[in-house]
Chains A and B, each alone.
Chain A
């Protein structure tokens, strides 16, 4: 069929002003297109260097992962978490839960089939080659494709199916945008495919669990979330949100005790399955647990934009307190921080409230818990991106400062080019043409000015960081400044999201009740 001979301006405008994937585009093909683009970005980033490339003798996270593959392939599971003659825990000892170890073993089998030298016991320490880099990159890519991608697609489907953000034509048109921002999360892409980690697995499992909750498959959600915790213990940042939301829902049902017991049974069962090889003795299990909670490493490391590190300029926490009181302080501070959101979800659980609560509880952990890494910002960024349609400005702001908080790390890894490009992708997706469905909340101009100040400071700091050597007396002056800016933004964001979650209360109670019927 040819184009209409006398084209009316209407179709012309409709096709020219909008992106090709706007309706009436076939949804499956559109989802495929976005997934392919997201995969392409990952592959492109993976061409770049990884953490600790060529930096003997300790290398970086890449070597840690490779070392775990080597260990899990050649040693019996009982020796994975123990210091033995073959397993020197001081050299990148395994410090993630068993599911991570299994995943390492699976990938080691794959590597062993094509390049046995890369995972040979002992002799492969610090093994680096172009081929092994490619194979290792492929393990991350495939994990991402198998775990995170399906979870993201399921989430977007469930988000609209269950009408989380309200139903309306405008919102429906935003599904491509939502999928794009969930899949092309610059921080996640940089850390997994640049720096080299497997956050896509634990976050993908968490995302699956979130979708399970949203779509009403709570038992699936419980199992997936348990798996996520068993992949990286950091997933516990989300635990209060899951616990409070599910508890709140169960209480409202006919047989609350039975419902809670069902969930508990699934969680315990999943844990038992994953921990099976370590359950034969108390010592074995405790050995693993002690590896997972390295309290001796101090309350913070490097310059992470959380409460303890930022305030340490004024109060020398590490010098003033021993480890034990610090543990207690951080625990109570964290609990206090997530308590409001926890209470809100127990009282009136709702889908939207659940997403807010995920954000609030994970950010509380980031700000106040013990031993937080800068990479842990990935955890609160996940729910922030899920809330993208609801809170576009919050998402944009948070993502930018999350990325900025990792800037020193990115520079250490020589990933600056990849940083600029992924930041570019993020900005471009955020401002994609025809994206008028984003409901822009009005921000008072005073607040806008203050916020823009932070933005300008961050730009200036990035340039200064790259061009100017810090003074000799304060070698980490710029890192500290970056930390301060990010911390201040995070505090504002936390207050705002907690406020929003509480404000949902009156509105969402009716929806929550309707859904339970």
Chain B
């Protein structure tokens, strides 16, 4: 549509600039051990040759991301000596960082977000070459989860998700080869995105290679294979040469870590563990002699061994099969009828499956599908409803990450502002659209009432969220005192798990029905 082609770039840049101001103000806030991790990686990649990146153990935060991320760290470390020489000296000093040092590292995160902005600007036109609503772009750039994980907790998700969005953009526009290569780059930067690879494979195989005759198809298959192989060899060839692949592999896939992370991600396994606890409790009440494992109800959140009492032990293979099974409807769809306009939905669904059933999932991984889904949140009222719920739940499930008093109002206000923005934006968008609709077809049923994107069920769900928050902040202390310190965290995980489960099922149903 040529008329709609006027650039939304200034508006998106405006939103990004506003986010930068927030990021600047977040510089002095709390930072987690991830800050030390990246600080060490910066020094490591700058001070040592690549040969020693995956073998150095001068810090407990050993490098466990794929090589491209190490190269990225190397790049970020280049101007560091001009700021503070101690930034790139090994071993990393124990003293807390100076302000210049802190500012530098914080700014590298803000700087790497430029890739996110670039991808969002490219994604301003969708698969139909129509302009996406401005709000959809803002929802990505102002995501409270991204702000609190990247700019308070300290990670580089903005950059990584920027890569993911870039590859999605290429595929949406029909440039499959570029999309595949960018996705390969993403995999070589953070391997957690591997969970989306099956969808990519199915889609690209069918859409890029098939249906053009055997010779051309084979040619394309070879081309795509060569592109991806080139990316992978650029990443891993040096380490093959050094003979460190085994070491690298062990670093990237530490399966010894256990099913759940220290703080339970709100996924399927939360229900599994809780069910196990309840069953154990009931059986003991009934007189069965059941041995409680070391990892008990209160202290057992960090578990290397199987924490299960009654239910069977879960192995990485089980989780892998479950993920594949959950993903299979989407794979079938991608293989049978590959359409560029559904790729964001499919990839998001695949990462959702990985989040719901994967092995040792971090709560932060919910970003990997929440952010891309923001782009299609305004495609329909159903999508808007779903995204509203999902984004609130995903952001709330990240609350325990920022546990200090100083950040409490920040995280609450970030979430509330974002939720209100969605409320305002969705209401006005769908009211305006329904007004348009009414002009065309004089149909009274198509009138969208204000706030109708929050139904009764989700409204009461949100009330429950508030109640849980009140309980964990205020009442828990009065009722239990210092006992059961992990109960509030469990409640948050479990309650958010319900929302996540709903989101997964909703996405599945939508994909089965509409794609």
A-to-B contact residues, CB < 8 Å: 1-4, 7-26, 29-30, 32-33, 36-37, 39-41, 43-45, 47-48, 130-131, 134, 141, 417-418, 420-422, 424-425, 428, 431-434
Within the complex, the shortest CB–CB distance from B404 to chain A, in Å, comes to 9
Whether B414 sits at the interface, judged by CB under 8 Å, is: yes
Select one of A1, A2, A21, A433 contacting B11, CB under 8 A. Answer: A433
Contacts of B37 in A (CB 8 A): none
* Segment from B169-177, B308-316, B327-335, B429-437 that makes contact with A: B429-437
Q: Is the CB of A20 within 8 A of B413?
A: no
The distance in angstroms between the C-alpha atoms of A33 and B17, with both chains bound, is 19
Within the complex, the shortest CB–CB distance from A293 to chain B, in Å, comes to 38
Q: Is the CB of A33 within 8 A of B417?
A: yes
Whether B205 sits at the interface, judged by CB under 8 Å, is: no
Q: Is the CB of A428 within 8 A of B18?
A: yes
Select one of B4, B21, B434 contacting A16, CB under 8 A. Answer: B4
The distance in angstroms between the C-alpha atoms of A432 and B138, with both chains bound, is 14
Contacts of A33 in B (CB 8 A): 417, 420-421, 423-424
The distance in angstroms between the C-alpha atoms of A14 and B134, with both chains bound, is 10
Contacts of A29 in B (CB 8 A): 420, 423-424, 427
Select one of A17, A26, A48, A431 contacting B134, CB under 8 A. Answer: A17
Whether B416 sits at the interface, judged by CB under 8 Å, is: yes
Contacts of A420 in B (CB 8 A): 24
Q: Is the CB of A40 within 8 A of B24?
A: no
The distance in angstroms between the C-alpha atoms of A224 and B448, with both chains bound, is 43
17 contacts between A and B (CB under 8 A): A1-B430, A4-B436, A4-B440, A7-B130, A16-B132, A18-B134, A20-B134, A25-B424, A29-B424, A33-B420, A33-B423, A39-B413, A47-B25, A47-B26, A47-B406, A417-B25, A424-B17
The distance in angstroms between the C-alpha atoms of A26 and B413, with both chains bound, is 20
Given contacts A19-B134, A417-B24, A428-B14, contact A14 B406 (CB under 8 A): no
Whether B488 sits at the interface, judged by CB under 8 Å, is: no
Q: Is the CB of B21 within 8 A of A20?
A: no
The distance in angstroms between the C-alpha atoms of A40 and B380, with both chains bound, is 30
Contacts of A47 in B (CB 8 A): 25-26, 28-29, 406, 410
Q: Is the CB of A16 within 8 A of B8?
A: yes
- Of listed A9, A13, A20, A418, residue having the most chain B CB within 10 A: A20
Contacts of B22 in A (CB 8 A): 40, 44, 421
In residues 94-149 of chain B, which contact A (Cβ within 8 Å)?
A: 103, 130-135, 138
Contacts of A2 in B (CB 8 A): 379-382
Within the complex, the shortest CB–CB distance from A131 to chain B, in Å, comes to 8
Within the complex, the shortest CB–CB distance from B130 to chain A, in Å, comes to 6
The distance in angstroms between the C-alpha atoms of A432 and B417, with both chains bound, is 18
Interface size range on B against A: 35 or more
The distance in angstroms between the C-alpha atoms of A19 and B133, with both chains bound, is 10
Contacts of B430 in A (CB 8 A): 1
In residues 373-421 of chain B, which contact A (Cβ within 8 Å)?
A: 378-382, 405-406, 409-410, 413-414, 416-417, 420-421
Contacts of A12 in B (CB 8 A): 1, 4, 130-131
Contacts of A26 in B (CB 8 A): 423-424, 427-428, 450-451
Q: Is the CB of B432 within 8 A of A24?
A: yes
Contacts of A45 in B (CB 8 A): 25
Within the complex, the shortest CB–CB distance from A199 to chain B, in Å, comes to 20
Whether B214 sits at the interface, judged by CB under 8 Å, is: no
Given contacts A36-B413, A130-B406, A134-B405, contact A10 B25 (CB under 8 A): no
Q: Is the CB of B448 within 8 A of A1?
A: yes
The distance in angstroms between the C-alpha atoms of A39 and B409, with both chains bound, is 10
The distance in angstroms between the C-alpha atoms of A53 and B27, with both chains bound, is 18
Within the complex, the shortest CB–CB distance from B357 to chain A, in Å, comes to 31
Within the complex, the shortest CB–CB distance from A435 to chain B, in Å, comes to 10
Given contacts A30-B424, A33-B420, A47-B25, contact A134 B410 (CB under 8 A): no
Select one of B131, B381, B410, B437 contacting A44, CB under 8 A. Answer: B410
Within the complex, the shortest CB–CB distance from B437 to chain A, in Å, comes to 6
User: In the complex, what residue of chain A is closest to B20 when comparing beta carbons?
Assistant: A424
Within the complex, the shortest CB–CB distance from B94 to chain A, in Å, comes to 21
- Of listed B130, B417, B424, B451, residue having the most chain A CB within 10 A: B424
Q: Is the CB of B4 within 8 A of A24?
A: no
User: In the complex, what residue of chain B is closest to A48 when comparing beta carbons?
Assistant: B28
Contacts of A424 in B (CB 8 A): 17-18, 20-21, 24
Whether B10 sits at the interface, judged by CB under 8 Å, is: yes
Within the complex, the shortest CB–CB distance from B89 to chain A, in Å, comes to 25
Contacts of B433 in A (CB 8 A): 1, 3-4, 11, 15
B-to-A contact residues, CB < 8 Å: 1, 3-4, 6, 8, 10-11, 14, 17-18, 20-22, 24-29, 103, 130-135, 138, 378-382, 405-406, 409-410, 413-414, 416-417, 420-421, 423-425, 427-437, 440, 446, 448, 450-451
The distance in angstroms between the C-alpha atoms of A306 and B472, with both chains bound, is 53
Given contacts A1-B437, A2-B380, A29-B427, contact A40 B134 (CB under 8 A): no
Given contacts A40-B414, A43-B410, A44-B22, contact A10 B436 (CB under 8 A): yes
Given contacts A11-B436, A17-B11, contact A421 B21 (CB under 8 A): yes
User: In the complex, what residue of chain A is closest to B448 when comparing beta carbons?
Assistant: A1
Contacts of B28 in A (CB 8 A): 47-48, 417
Q: Is the CB of A20 within 8 A of B138?
A: yes
Within the complex, the shortest CB–CB distance from B295 to chain A, in Å, comes to 33
Contacts of B417 in A (CB 8 A): 33, 36-37, 40
The distance in angstroms between the C-alpha atoms of A424 and B23, with both chains bound, is 12
The distance in angstroms between the C-alpha atoms of A214 and B429, with both chains bound, is 34
User: In the complex, what residue of chain B is closest to A4 when comparing beta carbons?
Assistant: B437
The distance in angstroms between the C-alpha atoms of A10 and B331, with both chains bound, is 37
A-B CB proximity, top 10 nearest: A20-B425, A44-B25, A25-B428, A424-B21, A421-B24, A433-B11, A33-B420, A40-B413, A9-B3, A2-B380
The distance in angstroms between the C-alpha atoms of A154 and B291, with both chains bound, is 64
Within the complex, the shortest CB–CB distance from B140 to chain A, in Å, comes to 14
Q: Is the CB of A20 within 8 A of B25?
A: no
Q: Is the CB of A20 within 8 A of B429?
A: yes
Within the complex, the shortest CB–CB distance from B330 to chain A, in Å, comes to 21
Contacts of A141 in B (CB 8 A): 409
Contacts of B414 in A (CB 8 A): 40
Given contacts A1-B434, A2-B381, A21-B424, contact A15 B134 (CB under 8 A): yes
Contacts of B405 in A (CB 8 A): 131, 134
Q: Is the CB of A16 within 8 A of B428?
A: no
Contacts of B131 in A (CB 8 A): 12, 16
Contacts of B17 in A (CB 8 A): 424, 428
Select one of A24, A32, A36, A48 contacting B428, CB under 8 A. Answer: A24
Contacts of A3 in B (CB 8 A): 378-380, 433
The distance in angstroms between the C-alpha atoms of A43 and B138, with both chains bound, is 22
Q: Is the CB of A8 within 8 A of B436?
A: yes
The distance in angstroms between the C-alpha atoms of A472 and B420, with both chains bound, is 54
Select one of A15, A18, A23, A418 contacting B25, CB under 8 A. Answer: A418
User: In the complex, what residue of chain B is closest to A176 when comparing beta carbons?
Assistant: B424
The distance in angstroms between the C-alpha atoms of A11 and B431, with both chains bound, is 11
Within the complex, the shortest CB–CB distance from B184 to chain A, in Å, comes to 33
Given contacts A1-B448, A43-B413, contact A16 B133 (CB under 8 A): yes
Within the complex, the shortest CB–CB distance from A407 to chain B, in Å, comes to 17
The distance in angstroms between the C-alpha atoms of A3 and B136, with both chains bound, is 14
Within the complex, the shortest CB–CB distance from A481 to chain B, in Å, comes to 26
Q: Is the CB of A15 within 8 A of B1?
A: no
Q: Is the CB of B380 within 8 A of A13?
A: no
A sample of 13 more A-B contacts (CB under 8 A), given A15-B134, A20-B135, A24-B427, is A1-B380, A4-B436, A12-B1, A13-B4, A19-B11, A29-B423, A29-B427, A36-B417, A47-B28, A130-B406, A131-B405, A421-B22, A434-B11
